[in-house]
């Protein structure tokens, strides 16, 4: 009699699970909403120093345990280094994150935008080494005589480059976080260093004048960032 009861309970549970499965799977493929929680903040360093022209920069930060709540709809959490130009049309970025186009994986990536060539992003062929492992990220221009300008985008010994025919300086440098769902977890996005270069090919590395954490928040559509606390040295861009 007891066995019969137990069997019945097992069958009921099994049938209930079967019923629930398609409801859960259905969440896959639903288009994502961008992060729209202005009460949350994410740490960041850098941006601009008035009157200073950069030749890219470098930052060091560790792999951290992030969760990307909306990974199945293309969402992500990343900790990145950005190098950009004041018109907002040119930028390069490289970083580490969780969630890559539907895959719930830790990964390194890089991306750039160019007003003519467009936008490009790519997962780097480099395996994460585990939470706590620090990596040094760099973005800097390389000029070969007779050729156009290239921007190197580097994490540790891995490097790639992108042609930016008409630019080899920048006036925006930032390291921090980016996420697409307020339900993702983001323990920290601080970096242990941020330096900008004062000449090409990684020359004249200079510490960021105020390397303390700053905070910013993000709203959606279009994806917009705004500073909650402004750098005390330098100025927030835009």
Please tell me whether residue 73 binds other proteins under the rule CB under 8 A. yes
Closest by Cα among 112, 109, 113 to 125:
109
Please tell me whether residue 232 binds other proteins under the rule CB under 8 A. no
Q: What is the DSSP string of 182-223?
A: TTSB------SEEEE-SBTTTBS-EE-S--S-EEEEEETTTT
Tokens of 152: 């190197």
Residues within window 76-95 making contact with other proteins, judged by CB under 8 A:
76, 78, 80, 82, 84, 88-89, 91, 93
Q: How far apart are the C-alpha atoms of 169 and 228, rounded to whole Å?
A: 27
Residues within window 11-50 making contact with other proteins, judged by CB under 8 A:
11-12, 15-16, 18-19, 22-23, 25-26, 28-29, 31-32, 34, 44, 47
- Site string (175-214) toward other proteins, x via CB under 8 A: -x-x-x----------------------------------
Instruction: Report, in Å, the least distance between residue 147 CB and other proteins.
Output: 5
Residues within window 105-164 making contact with other proteins, judged by CB under 8 A:
105, 111-125, 142, 144, 147-148, 150, 158-163
Q: What is the DSSP string of 71-99?
A: GGGT--EEEEEEEE-TTSS-EEEEEEEEE
């Amino acid at each position: 009699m007891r066995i019969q009861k137990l069997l019945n309970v097992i069958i009921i549970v099994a049938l209930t699970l079967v019923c629930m499965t398609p409801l859960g799977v259905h969440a896959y493929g639903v288009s994502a909403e961008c992060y729209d929680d202005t009460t949350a903040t994410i740490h960041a360093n850098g941006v601009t120093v008035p009157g200073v022209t950069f030749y890219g920069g470098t930052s060091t930060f560790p792999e951290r345990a992030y969760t990307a709540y909306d990974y199945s709809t293309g969402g992500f959490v990343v900790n990145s280094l950005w190098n950009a130009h004041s018109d907002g049309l040119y930028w390069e970025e490289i970083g580490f994150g969780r969630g890559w186009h539907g895959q719930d994986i830790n990964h390194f990536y890089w991306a750039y935008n160019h007003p003519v060539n467009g936008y490009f992003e790519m997962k780097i062929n480099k395996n994460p080494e585990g939470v706590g492992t620090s990596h040094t990220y760099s973005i800097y221009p390389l000029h070969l005589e007779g050729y156009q300008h290239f921007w190197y985008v580097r994490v540790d010994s891995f490097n790639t480059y992108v042609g930016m025919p008409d630019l080899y300086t920048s006036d925006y440098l930032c390291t921090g976080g980016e996420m697409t769902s307020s339900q993702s977890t983001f323990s920290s996005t601080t970096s242990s260093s941020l330096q900008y270069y004062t000449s090409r090919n990684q020359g004249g590395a200079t510490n960021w004048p105020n390397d303390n954490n700053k905070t910013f928040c993000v709203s959606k559509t279009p994806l917009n960032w705004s500073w909650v606390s402004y750098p005390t040295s330098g100025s927030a861009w835009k």
